[in-house]
Structure formats: C-alpha cells, structure tokens
Structure 1
Amino acid sequence: MNTNTNPLKITEVVLRDAHQSLLATRMKTADMLPIAEKLDAVGFFSLEMWGGATFDSCIRFLNEDPWERVRVLKKKMPKTPFQMLLRGQNCVGYRHYADDIVERFVQKSADVGIDIFRIFDALNDLRNIEVAVKTAKKAGGTVEGCISYTVSPVHNIPLYKDMAKRIVDMGCDILCIKDMAGLLTPQVAGPLITELKKEIPLPIHLHSHATTGLAGMNMQAAINAGVDMVDTAISSLSMGTSHYPTECIVAATQGTPRDSGLDLELLEEISAYFKEVRKHYAQYESNFVGVDINILQSQIPGGMISNMENQLREQNAHDKLDEVLKEVPRVRKDLGYPPLVTPTSQIVGSQATLNVLTGERYKIITKETRECVLGKYGKLPGELEPELVQKIAKEEKLIDCRPADLLDPEWEKISAEVGDRAKSDEDRLTYAMFPKVALKFFETRGKPLPEAAPAAASANGKKGAPAAAPSAAPAASAASAGPAVYEVKVNGKPYTVEVGPA
C-alpha cells in the first residue's frame, strides 16, 4: 500500500524532449525566451532543456551555440533547476569518449547552469555511466541514474531492482525509469514502482512517452504506487511520440494527497504560447499521428520506423518495410536484446534493413553491429547468437572491460587538431562531440543564415537541408501557377531547382 502523500513533482520537457519528439529538435532559443519567465514561475521540479539531440541540432541546423543557450535561459529562469539528458560515456555524441573528455564536458555543463544530470546508457551497462555520475556529483550537480526500460525474455523486475541498487551504490540522488519507447503498461508500472519503493531509498522519477497511448494510465498507476516525479509536456506539444500533457496530470492530482500545487491558469497561458510557436516549425512535424499500439509487439519506436522508411525509400525499396519490421526483433534477439534507444535502435534498424535488402542475413555486417558484438558499446543484456559471434569474432577479439578503458586521453589531441578555430574550452568540447559539424559552425556563428527559396528543403533531397527552410505554402502556390525555377544554396553550393505540379 502506498503511503506517499507528498505533492507530486513535475518535470516539464517542452524545451527538450517535446520538440525533439515532435519537431525534429528544431526549436530555437529565440522562441524559448519570451515564455521563460512564466515557465520559471510555475514551480516545476525541473525544466529539461538541454542534452539529447539539442546540442547537435543547435550547431548543425540552427547556427546557435548550445552553451550560450543554457546561459541566456538561466538569466531568465533563475529559480527552476535546469535538467539535461546525458548519454553516459557518449555525452551528447554518438560514440564513447575518453574519460578526460567526459569529465570536462560534465564540469563545463555544470558551470554554464545545468543543475540536474539525467545519465543513462543504452545497454544499461552501468560501467558506462560511472565517470559521468562521479564528475556530476563532484561538480555539485544532482544526479539521476537511469534504468532504460525495455521488454524481453531477459528483462524483468528482479533485474531492474538489482540495477536500481547499483545506481544507489554509485551515489546517485534520484532513480529514473526511462521508458523511451512507451513500452510500459499500467499493470507493470504500478508493481515496478511499488517493488522499487520497498528497497530503494531514492526518490523515483518516471519518464514515459505517449507513443502507445498508455501514458496517462501509466502515470496514474505510478502515482498511486508512490512515484515522486514524472515527466510531462505542456499540452500544445504533447502526445504522439511526445509525452502526456502537463495540465492533465495537474488536474488529475488536484484535491488529492498528491496534489502538484501547480497553477492551471498559468499553464494554459504557456500552452497557448507554444501552440503559436509550433506553427513556426510545421515543416518539421513528425509524420507520426495519434497512437501506435503495434509498438507493444514490435518494440520499435516511431522515430526508428521513420528512419527505416527513409533508408528504404533511398533504395527504392519501400515495399520491403513489413519485412524489415519483422526482421528487427530477430536482429535484436541475435544481439542479446539491447533496449532500442540511441544508438542501439539505429544499429539494429540498419542491420535489419541490410539483411532484407541483400536477401541474406548478415551477408553485410555494419561496422556498428560488429563493434556492438565485440563489446565496444558495453555488455549486451542477453546471450548473443553464436553463429553471428563466430562470424565476427574470428577477425577480432571480444572485449569484456569497460569500453572507455581502451581509450587514450583525447583532450590534448583534440585541442591541437582544432587549434585557434576554437575560441574557448566550450568550443573545444563542441569540436570533440561533432568535429566536422563544429568546424562549419565556427565559420557561420554569429552570421545570419541565408533564407532558402521556397521548397528548397525538399527539392535538394538531402539530409541536413538548411534549418531555416520555409513553410510549404509558398511552394504550393508557385507550383499551382506552373513551373518556377529557383536558385538554392545548400552549405554554400548553388543548385538550380524547378518546382512544378506533381
């Protein structure tokens, strides 16, 4: 029986995960600043506003300095703790970095204004979060150690309880259940929180996406079981692949022992603001609409499906999608049932796609699949397919140590590489995360990005199209009037594009 009668604490994710889930992480700092003071006045437990894909998106698409985003928002929101998502040894990048890079990145994040570090590892290999946890604690931050929730024959409540105890032993301040694919069901959420509450002395924070339509029931089950904090998104950027609406949880707890105490009228004002902001990013809207209950069976997140669709379209093989969706669970089983979250979702999805397109399983093995099997991402949860291991391991040796133990310190090398193109340690860390993208950013920083002509983003047909792509309306009107020719510049290179009726 839950005896928790403390007010429910709420983390608002509109400044990070909501627009990452719905708008391709394109929200600009300029659209956050006008509402910042009202967000600060609500009384949230924290505002998740950094980490994840925001760092990459700032320098790749928005021509913004991600470090500066934290500083300018902090000035407007001094009262509410700022929270970031950190991928353990990956920081905000897509590979393992040496310990000296991780330590500097975490310390600098604390210096610019991050208060709460939510730290996870895609494989739930807790060795991969140790350095980040230790550094964040040393820097005076609050640390949320994560369990990446997934469903498989090797994942169960006893396993999660064991992980939670290890997270406590590491010195974390909060335990986070990170349900990134929306796989939780209420009949699991309640018992999981109940069992963890019995043995774990830390506050428990639930992060669950709305993709499968069960988020509201999961939240209520967790609240009844005594969860301390939940992640929500302001209603105008909620649901779909995003999160359950903040206002719904506030209304549902009003007048109960878990009353959040937040002001619904103020939240409605904030929602109205973001309803207008969302219109600015219509061209980045996710194609995912409504609910996808099939994810409970396939366990494939919506974003992963859209990525595979793009891969297949590029190969003129969109008709193979159903085959690929059936192949994904088989590849996941072969790889020991990793949770499907960055980067393992991309690894499994790409390998499944190749298996189908080549007509032979593992005829071509991606570099990432190879490294995953060899242990270079960490320890996989279950047993690997022996034939696959034999095929890969005959060339290289499997490792069983923490992957970062094999990496030499990188800071001096990176500093020398980037030279005076980096103006600060922040720039050097940006370069460490994304070398090629960072160099381009250093050239364009502070300069207005050229506006693309109508339909440029779709016409050039390449990923990484200009961030300031226009809405589709002008292109539609031009097309209806007959063919029109535009000159479009992509990364400084001119292209001639003709837009006409389909």
Structure 2
Amino acid sequence: MKKINIIETALRDAHQSQFATRMTTDQMLPILETMDQAGYYALEAWGGATFDVCLRHLDENPWDRLRTIRKYVKNTKLQMLMRGQNILGYTHYSDDVVEAFIGRSIDNGMDIIRLFDALNDLRNLETSFKAIKKYGGHAQGAICYTISPFHTVEYFAKIAVDLESMGADSICIKDMAGILTPKIAADLVVAIKEQTNLPINMHTHATSGTGAMTYLDAVQIGADMIDTAISPLSDGTSQPPTETMHIVLSEMNFDTGLDGDKLVKIASYFKGVRKTFQSAKIFDDKVYQVNPLILQYQVPGGMLSNLIAQLKEVGAENRLDDVLAEVERVRSEVGYPPLVTPMSQIVGAQAVVNILSGSRNTIIPNEMQDYVRGYYGRPAAPINPEFAAKILQGEKPITQRPADLLEPRLPSARKEIEHLHPSDESVISYAMFPEITKAYLERHQVTSEYGWANAGALG
C-alpha cells in the first residue's frame, strides 16, 4: 500500500484563497493540537500573504504566529510558501535579507520551505536554496504551472531537473489557478519521474472544477503528496477537501495516514470559523463557486478574491468578467507570466486600470514598468514590442540576476529604526515591509523574550 502524504492548507492557502488571509492566530489556536494528532504529513501554516496581512490588517507579529503554532504542533512538520528572492513580499530583496529570513524561520520551527519564482527564473532561487541547506531545512522546489504556447511538458520537466541539481529535496507542481487538467497532470508527473529522483507534491485549486480529478490521476501515475483543505475551507478558490480525498484514496488502496475521527473534529471547528467570516462579510460567494472560465482566464484563487475585493471598494464589482478577460489579454502581451505573486498583482493591476480607465495601457503602474525592464527576472516568452517600447523608450532591459544589483540591506535597515530598539526579526521585517513594520513597532513598544523592542545584533 503506497503512502500518499497529505499537506493541510487550512492555516495558510485555504483562508488566503477564500477569506483574503484574514484568519487570526487566536482563531487557529483551539484546533492546533487536534490537527497535530490527525496524521498529516505537514501543515502549511506560514508564508504567502500571511506575513503582510498579520502586520497590515491583523495587528499581529507574524514571527509570534510561527512560534505559537510550533508550540502546539509538536509532531507534524510545518511548511511555508516563499517567493524566492521576493521572500514574502512583492519585489526583490538583497541576499542578506533572504538568508537572514530563512535562518530565523528555520530557527523558529519551520521544517519545509516551498520555493517558487513567479517567472520560473531559477536564478531567483539560488540564494534561498543555499540558505535552506545551510540552516538544515527541507527545500521544496516549486514549478509554477501555466498554459501558453511556450509552457510545454518538456519545459516544466527541464525546470524540475534544474531544481534537483540546485539541491531540491522534493518537487512541487504548483497549479495556483486550478487550471491543471488530469491528463496534463499525469503527463507532468511521468516526465518529472523519468528525469529526476525526487518526490512530487501536487498543488492545485478547485476553482475550475478539475482539482480532485487532477489529484487522483496524478497520484495513480506516481505523485507522492497532495495539498488539501479541510472541508469548510475547501473547494471554490481553495483546495479539494481533505476528508473526501482521504476516503477516496483509502478505497483505492493508498495510505494517507489520516485519522478520520480527528478530521471530523477539525471540520466541525472550522465550520464555526467560516461562519464568523461570513457574518463579517469577508467571505464572498464568488470564491466558493466553480468557474470553468478559469481554464481560460487562469486567475488563481487568491488573485480572484482580491480582484473581487478591489472592485467592490470602488463600486465596480459588475466589471469582474471584463477584468478577467482583460487579464488574459495583458498576460499575452507581457510574455505569458504565470499568475502567481507578484506577477498576479502586476498583471491584475494593469487589467483593472485598463478597464476602469476605459483606455488600454495608457496608465502603466511602476511594478509593470520594472517587470518589463527585467527587474523581476526573465520571462518565458517575448514581451509585445509595442508594449515594451512604451516603457523602455530605447533602453535595454537588464539581463543579470536582478538581486545582483542590490546592496546588502540589513545594516541600513537596522540604523533606520534603531530608535525603536529593534530585534533581529523586526529588522528583517522592516527590510521587507518598512512602513507597516515601523507602524507596528511604534504601537507595540514592549520588551519580552521575543519582543519587537528587544535589541540584538544580526549574526
């Protein structure tokens, strides 16, 4: 009986996809010990948008969240999602910040770091891989799946080979938009298994309705791990339900290692959490609906929920379909980037501006301009020459690894907030998110064992 490892996403991707990452640490606490006893291979509990949202919206210390989860989850691996040189932000950071962030994350209890680059430009993962190996973590190299004339099975398999040579301990096929179909999933697993010796973790979303089918075909052909979400936080823009996948895989003679009774308790708890978000009107029915058009638009769950929220803020939610169609057009013009952070935000912002302004590409946000100039990395396909010319105006885009242009940041970051007596962690946070970290520090001038007001030198 083959073991299929299950990674539960309730503490990170599930609520990021459905509730704009608004679950608090206090809402997680009562169920953590039960989750630890349920037999999961890992709990995805940190990374992605959680760090930003903790500081920006929840008035929480994200490092404290990690320590708290580790305190109650004693037996199950903790996993996080990291954006390579972007860390958990939306731009490239210097190598010293990347290494320090990874070191502190592993020191505070993180086991598995899933690394991806939004453009599949592996130069942007080099520093992260080295740091994870240095500090003794598990480096999972993620391939960002997308569909275009340039993104073939052979293209993705070559990335897997390169990730293995960089030191990856496992491979994740990361389908952030839920557009991976069962046949292509099986083809990818076969190709990667033939060319590497690494375990394969499948990650998809249920947005288009193909998620559970994709998992089943991938597992039957050789995938080793799948990401699922406990049922109250599953489906729609989230992952397929944990309980359903457990039952079906068990009937097919796979061993998930999960305790069905514990899953019932976990589901019961998160039903209450979901009701809280529904009452607060954070939950939108659109993120729970199956939308086969996602196979065309390729919009990930988190991006969809954020687009809905942005349009609501300006009273333009009726323009969602127009924006989704515009996302597809913009993406084709800028080299078919996978729609994952930060490219999902960059392409999404351009699409929203184009639709709401009534004029295409007359207003180009700074982040899109930096992308065209090469500051995010190398796209898989050429950018439309007319679009590029508007930005470059005769300049040449950079060709080196973008982070090679960055000076070490931590010394200057510490100096800028030295009057707040920052801890090592607060310096790292400030280097990534200066405004919201400084505001947090000013609100929380307390001293404790891990307090943000502690002094200390970065090692």
**TM-score bracket relative to the smaller structure:** over 0.9
Which whole-Å deviations, capped at 9, do the CAs of 1:301-331 have from their partners, x for residues lacking one?
A: 3543454455556666666554433332221
Amino acid across the alignment from 2:283: E
Taking the aligned partners of 2:415 and 2:2, their CA distance within structure 1 comes to 52
Superposition deviation, residue 422 in structure 1: 4.4
Distance in 1 of aligned mates of 2:229 and 2:309: 28
| Contact 1:422–1:442 under 8 Å retained in 2 | no
> 2:18–2:302: 8 Å Cα contact kept in structure 1?
no
Any idea what the Cα deviations from partners look like across 1:154-211, whole Å, max 9, x if unmatched?
1010000110000000001000011000011112111211221111100000111111
* Inter-partner Cα distance in structure 1 for 2:176 and 2:379: 18
In structure 2, how many angstroms separate the alpha carbons of the residues matched to 1:88 and 1:405? 14
Work out whether 1:118 is the aligned partner of 2:117.
no
Once residues 121 and 410 of structure 1 are traced to their aligned partners in structure 2, the CA distance between those partners, rounded to angstroms, is 21
2:127 to 128, 131, 155: 131
Which amino acid is 1:198 matched to?
Answer: E
Matched, 1:286 2:284: yes
Distance verdict in 2 for CA 1:253–1:327, change over 3 Å = closer
State the partner residue of 1:143.
Answer: 139
Tell whether 2:160 aligns with 1:164.
Answer: yes
More displaced stretch, 89-98 vs 21-30:
21-30
**TM-score, with structure 1 as normaliser:** 0.84
- Aligned ranges for residues 62-73 of structure 1 at < 5 Å? 62-73=58-69
Q: Mapping of 1:345-494 within 5 angstroms?
A: 345-394=344-393, 396-445=395-444
Identity level (%): 48
Q: State how far apart, in whole Å, the 1-side matches of 2:135 and 2:78 are.
A: 14
**Counterpart Cα distance in 2 of 1:261 and 1:309:** 37
Alignment-mate amino acid for residue 410 of structure 2: W
Give the C-alpha shift of residue 38 in structure 1. Answer: 1.2
Tell me what 2:78 maps to.
82
Q: Structure 1 residues 37 and 205, CA, compared in 2 at 3 Å: closer, same or farther?
A: same
What one-letter code is carried by the residue in structure 2 that aligns with 1:414? A
Alignment of structure 1 residues 292-303 onto 2, 5 Å: 292-303=291-302
SS of aligned partner of 1:117? strand
Looking at structure 2, the residues matched to 13 and 322 of structure 1 have their Cα atoms a distance apart, in angstroms, of: 28
Opposite residue 340 of structure 1, the aligned amino acid is L
Once the two structures are TM-superposed, the CA of residue 428 in structure 1 deviates from its matched residue by 0.8
Cα pair 2:81 2:114 within 8 Å, conserved:
yes
Determine which of 11, 16, 35 is the counterpart of 1:15.
11
- Residue 423 of structure 1: SS of its match in structure 2? coil
In 2, Cα distance between equivalents of 1:313 and 1:271: 30
Q: Relative to structure 1, is the Cα distance of residues 112 and 374 closer, same or farther in structure 2, using a 3 angstrom cutoff?
A: same
Q: Distance in 2 between matches of 1:318 and 1:328?
A: 15
TM-score by length of 2: 0.92
Distance, in Å, in 1 between the alignment partners of 2:306 and 2:277 is 19
Aligned residues of 2:215 and 2:226 also touching (Cα < 8 A): yes
CA distance in 2, matches of 1:230, 1:302: 17
CA distance, structure 2, for counterparts of residue 250 and residue 294 of structure 1 = 28
1:308–1:65: structure 2 CA closer, same or farther, 3 Å change rule? closer
- Larger Cα-atom Rg: 1
Separation in 1 of the partners of 2:301 and 2:29?
30
Kindly indicate whether the alpha-carbon contact (under 8 Å) linking 1:89 and 1:96 is maintained by their aligned counterparts in 2.
Answer: yes
- What displacement does 1:134 show? 1.0
Q: Paired residue for 1:253? A: 249
Instruction: Give a deviation string over 1:433-456, Cα, whole Å, max 9, x none.
Output: 211111221233389xxxxxxxxx
Q: Within 5 A, what are the aligned runs for 1:172-191?
A: 172-191=168-187
Letter in 2 for 1:409: P
**The 10-residue stretch of structure 1 (248-257 or 76-85) with the greater mean CA deviation from structure 2:** 248-257
Q: Distance in 2 between matches of 1:287 and 1:15?
A: 20
Q: 1:297 to 1:134 in 2, by over 3 A?
A: same
Specify whether residues 373 and 260 from structure 1 end up closer, same or farther in structure 2 by C-alpha distance, changes over 3 A only: same
Partner Cα separation in structure 1 for residue 263 and residue 114 of structure 2:
24
Aligned residue type for 1:285: F
1:416-445 Cα offsets, whole Å, 9 max, x none, are 011131431011111112111112212333
Range 202-211 or range 427-436, more displaced: 427-436
What CA distance in whole angstroms lies between the structure 2 residues aligned with 1:319 and 1:35? 38
Residue 463 (structure 1) aligns with: none
Q: Does the CA contact (< 8 Å) of 2:230 and 2:242 recur in 1?
A: yes
Which ranges of structure 1 fall in alignment gaps of 5 or more residues?
Answer: 448-502
Q: Are the equivalent residues in 2 in contact too, given 1:12–1:232 (CA < 8 A)?
A: yes
Partner of 2:456: none
Task: Find the counterpart in structure 1 of residue 326 from structure 2.
Answer: 327
Q: Corresponding residue for 2:221?
A: 225
Alignment of 1:189-204 (within 5 A): 189-204=185-200
Matched residue of 1:118: which SS?
Answer: strand
**Structure 2 CA distance, aligned partners of 1:73 and 1:314?**
33
Shift in alpha-carbon separation, 1:358–1:63, aligned structure 2, 3 A: closer
CA contact (8 A) 1:84 1:118 kept: yes
CA contact (8 A) 1:237 1:278 kept: yes
- Structure 2: segments with no counterpart, 5+ residues: 447-459
Q: Which amino acid aligns with 1:333?
A: S
Aligned equivalent of 1:58: 54
Deviation at 1:352, TM superposition (A): 2.5
* Alignment CA distance shift 1:48-1:152 (3 Å): same
Supply the distance in 1 between the matched residues of 2:358 and 2:193 (Cα, whole angstroms).
48
Looking at structure 1, the residues matched to 181 and 274 of structure 2 have their Cα atoms a distance apart, in angstroms, of: 29
Contact 1:44/1:80, CA 8 A, preserved across alignment:
yes
SS at match of 1:109: helix
